[in-house]
């Protein structure tokens, strides 16, 4: 398919998809729950738990009492004692709530991110600084917790973040999309981050659709592929390439013929 035809298809999809009407229990998406809140820590919890079947993600998020982020740690321990989700046991769930409670009292996520983003002029470096901050404050580790938060980004011998060898960090990229972009779909609660720097939240749906449309010819599902598709989408909209993310996702999820 020629690029002008792909752009036309995606622009049409963006017009119909980037709307609050797309968020419903009939078409479940974690943003359905996240969009009810203005708290960046609650919204990050919604993004980090967003793996697996969409309907089950929404069901789990609906079961959580996010007000616990403002409660004492003993109350968090008690209230979340039987909560678990797929790879996270109740200790993992309690630990992420307690860690975010500590972070929330200390600083805003936007400020933590911006400090490195402005200094390094690099979205990946800024993301890594947030992930490292979570581990530093958590004082806890497990397989489930590491899966939830993601590992710090792998680097080469010169200390540069690797494009090949790192995962796409899909849930984090989705969170950044929610917080930085501001339209009928995304929340736009963060200041100071340029949406042209966002990276596509590459999941299995967007990965396959991008290959099918000719936006990506790599077969490896990794950070490099996410960066390559993002660069391709910049040919359609240099200032806001990730506006196409939700459309690509829905095309794949709904198995739309292209």
Structural domain of 241: 3-253
**Measured torsion, CA atoms of residues 52, 57, 59, 65, in degrees rounded to the nearest 10:** 140
Is residue 198 one of the residues assigned to a domain?
yes
Is residue 77 one of the residues assigned to a domain?
yes
Is residue 218 one of the residues assigned to a domain?
yes
Q: For the chain, what is the mean pLDDT?
A: 96
pLDDT tens digit string along 217-253? 999 999 999 999 999 999 999 999 999 999 999 998 8
Domains held by the chain: number? 1
Is residue 42 one of the residues assigned to a domain?
yes
pLDDT tens digit string along 170-207? 999 999 999 999 999 999 999 999 999 999 999 999 99
pLDDT tens digit string along 61-114? 999 999 999 999 999 999 999 999 999 999 999 999 999 999 999 999 999 999
Which residue, 38, 7, 52, is CA-closest to 170?
52
Is residue 122 one of the residues assigned to a domain?
yes
Is residue 258 one of the residues assigned to a domain?
no
Task: Retrieve residue 21's tokens.
Answer: 């009407």
Is residue 188 one of the residues assigned to a domain?
yes
Is residue 244 one of the residues assigned to a domain?
yes
């Amino acid at each position: 398919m020629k690029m002008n035809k792909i752009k036309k298809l995606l622009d049409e999809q963006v017009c119909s998809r980037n709307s609050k009407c797309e968020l419903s229990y009939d078409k479940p998406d974690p943003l359905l729950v996240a969009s009810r809140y203005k708290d960046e820590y609650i919204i990050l919890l919604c993004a980090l738990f967003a793996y697996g079947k969409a309907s089950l993600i929404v069901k789990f998020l609906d079961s959580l009492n996010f007000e616990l982020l403002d409660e004492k740690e003993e109350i968090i321990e008690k209230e979340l004692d039987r909560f678990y989700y797929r790879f996270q046991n109740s200790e993992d769930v309690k630990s992420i709530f307690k860690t975010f409670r500590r972070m929330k009292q200390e600083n805003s996520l936007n400020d933590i991110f911006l400090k490195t983003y402005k200094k390094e002029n690099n979205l990946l470096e800024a993301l890594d600084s947030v992930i490292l901050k979570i581990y530093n404050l958590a004082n806890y580790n497990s397989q489930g917790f590491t899966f939830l938060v993601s590992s710090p980004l792998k680097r080469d011998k010169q200390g540069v973040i690797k494009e090949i060898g790192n995962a796409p960090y899909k849930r984090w990229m989705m969170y950044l999309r929610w917080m930085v972009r501001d339209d009928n779909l995304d929340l736009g609660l963060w200041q100071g981050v340029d949406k042209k720097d966002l990276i596509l939240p590459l999941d299995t749906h967007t990965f396959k659709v991008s290959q099918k449309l000719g936006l990506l010819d790599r077969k490896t599902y990794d950070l490099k592929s996410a960066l390559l598709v993002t660069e391709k989408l910049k040919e359609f909209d240099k200032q806001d390439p990730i506006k196409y993310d939700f459309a690509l996702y829905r095309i794949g999820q709904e198995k739309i013929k292209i």
